[in-house]
A and B are shown apart, each in its own frame.
Chain A
Amino acid sequence: MLKQTEGSHAVAEAVALCRPDVICAYPISPQTHIVEGLGELVKSGALAPCEFINVESEFAAMSVAIGASAAGARAYTATASQGLLFMAEAVYNASGLGLPIVMTVANRAIGAPINIWNDHSDAMSQRDSGWLQLYAETNQEAVDLHIQAFKLAEELSMPVMVCMDGFILTHAVERVDVPEPTDVDAFLPPYSPRQVLDPADPVSIGAMVGPEAFMEVRYLAHAKQLSALEHIPRIAAEFEARFGRTSGGLVRGYRCDDAETIVVALGSVIGTLKETVDALRADGVKVGVLGIQSYRPFPLAAVRAALQGAQRVVVLEKSFCVGLGGVVSTDVRVALSGLQLHGYTVVAGLGGRAITRASLERMLKDAVADRLAPLTFLDLDWRIVERQLAREAQTRRSGPIAENLLRDVGTVAAKVA
């Protein structure tokens, strides 16, 4: 049913349509509205049977999800930012044990300095955790990816993270087609676990594994992710056949066919990039966008196939590896190894810094002219950076950086955006 609704609410409805048996969550911005919505659906009886478990922390949320999933329940949780970090040990356990939990990450920056706004640092910190990671471009795709995620997770017996941009998507009210329950039931069969704690047929889950087999268990996790490279497009195609729209898959290009310059990105910024590309195309600049929907597994072959005809590649990412540069761009570089392409990394939107068409257009014009620095920080305020560096050069006790910069910036309440 087509409705005008908040992203979080639409995702709550989508998760409910997947009939989870157990939902356990601890509230954290900007994830809160999702689990509030699910809590209401459980309380009203609209989602039944389902146990909604209030837990005391994110560590407990993931631990409960692990227990529930091991007992044969379809388990769901959601988190963001510090919450994801706080559950990190259990996040690795969920994937190491091969439990098909689905978790929404409402992407938010990681502190310090504390910041509640959007970027991809949280999910990126868990990119090597063994979870699959899918990124939504719109709220419609967030809804659709959750429905696909349960199917994918359960077919592989591996957990899946659905990443959606905090606030930008979770708090945006827009048109979303929420699927009909009968269609979701037909698409997503009841959970049939590969391993289950069943008193009638007892097994133990979670053995200590020494050097004799640890590498093999890890390799099998990798093999499963590689097999997901075939499952993900197939499930997306099945989804499209039933629901009539394209969502998910490995990668999706926009005006890439004859593009000399292709921007690679994840998540909601792809929309703003498409508008920018249309404007540049109108001026005769041959640019395109490649969205990566599946970040783990990373679709090396699909990325290479999409980019190999271009002359230059700009990876625009909301994540940053201090001491190196790009996170996504490192993976893209692996996909492009051996190809003679100009490669640029643009770090943008950290901690909620708005990514505007004007800035993207300026940056892309620089890229097309090969004037862009290999590592660029979009709209970085060099004035306050230089001032702090000067302060540190001048004074030993130069004070806390965050507080210094806030003083330099002055009041932000008077600013519109």
Chain B
Amino acid sequence: MLQIRFHGRGGQGVVTAAELLSIAAFAQGHHAQAFPSFGSERTGAPVVAFCRIDDREIRVREPILAPDVLIVQDPTLLHQVDVFQGLGADGYVLINSKRGFDELGVGEIAQRFRRERLLTVPATEIALKHLGRPLPNAVLLGGFAALTGIVTLDAVAHAIRDKFTGKVADGNVAAATEAYQAVSHALVEVTDAQAD
């Protein structure tokens, strides 16, 4: 079973991100379970959402305490919430930022994990370009697809079109595609650097 934890702020579509990922996984024939952290969400307050993906029925109902993947939609949470809590040494991390891990002040924490599994992607900027609004959630799922290979970009696009229509759907698909390409490109750079 793969467990993905989303961190963001109320208004950023954190819960929707988890739902979209579960729809993408379902579209690829997997079992998936998405659920929010059940708070009384307020705009701007820290929000957590969860997604589990497996090839058999998912019965467990506890929050995800030991994630395989972290998606951080708002980098200002890095110094407010212990987002890395429970992440294993082989875990993936995708942070919405145009800065790197060192610049974000989490370089030391990042050393505990595998370099080629940690990436940042400027999802807010990509969202502004395609949607005109700073909504990084669906964008990051494009990056997630490239980083982990757990779901395909096609499945992410399918999920976006399942949940949204018209310009919102088109913009999100375009933004997710750009994030997919950006992360794919960054991964090649990391691999090349490691080969050197």
Write the residues of chain A forming the contact surface with B, with a CB cutoff of 8 angstroms. 3-4, 6, 29, 116-118, 167-168, 171-175, 268-269, 271-272, 274-275, 352, 354-357, 413-417
A107 to B5, CA, bound (A): 25
Q: A4-B32, A416-B48, A416-B85 are in contact. Are A171 and B38 (CB under 8 A)?
A: yes
Q: Is the beta-carbon distance between A354 and B62 smaller than 8 angstroms?
A: yes
Q: Is the beta-carbon distance between B37 and A417 smaller than 8 angstroms?
A: yes
Q: Is the beta-carbon distance between A173 and B35 smaller than 8 angstroms?
A: yes
Query: Which single residue of chain B is at the shortest CB-CB distance from A267?
Result: B61
A242 to B174, CA, bound (A): 44
Contact with A along B45-76 (1 / 0, CB 8 A): 11010000000001111111100000000000
Q: Which residues of B contact A168 (CB under 8 A)?
A: 35, 38, 61
A29 to B31, CA, bound (A): 27
Identify which of B34, B46, B65 contacts A172 (C-beta below 8 A): B34
Q: Which residues of A contact B36 (CB under 8 A)?
A: 167, 171
Q: Is the beta-carbon distance between A355 and B62 smaller than 8 angstroms?
A: yes
Q: Is the beta-carbon distance between B48 and A272 smaller than 8 angstroms?
A: no
Would you call B82 an interface residue if the criterion is a C-beta within 8 Å of the partner chain's C-beta atoms? yes
Q: Which residues of A contact B48 (CB under 8 A)?
A: 416-417
Would you call B194 an interface residue if the criterion is a C-beta within 8 Å of the partner chain's C-beta atoms? no
Query: Which single residue of chain B is at the shortest CB-CB distance from A29?
Result: B40
What are 17 A-B interface contacts by the 8 Å CB criterion?
A29-B40, A116-B40, A168-B38, A172-B33, A172-B35, A173-B35, A174-B31, A174-B33, A174-B34, A271-B59, A271-B61, A274-B59, A355-B62, A357-B62, A413-B45, A413-B81, A416-B65
Q: A171-B36, A174-B34, A175-B32 are in contact. Are A272 and B23 (CB under 8 A)?
A: no
Contact with A along B104-131 (1 / 0, CB 8 A): 0000000000000000000000000000
A355 to B59, CA, bound (A): 13
Q: Which residues of B contact A174 (CB under 8 A)?
A: 22, 31-34, 58
Q: Which residues of B contact A417 (CB under 8 A)?
A: 37, 48, 62-65
Q: Which residues of A contact B62 (CB under 8 A)?
A: 272, 354-357, 417
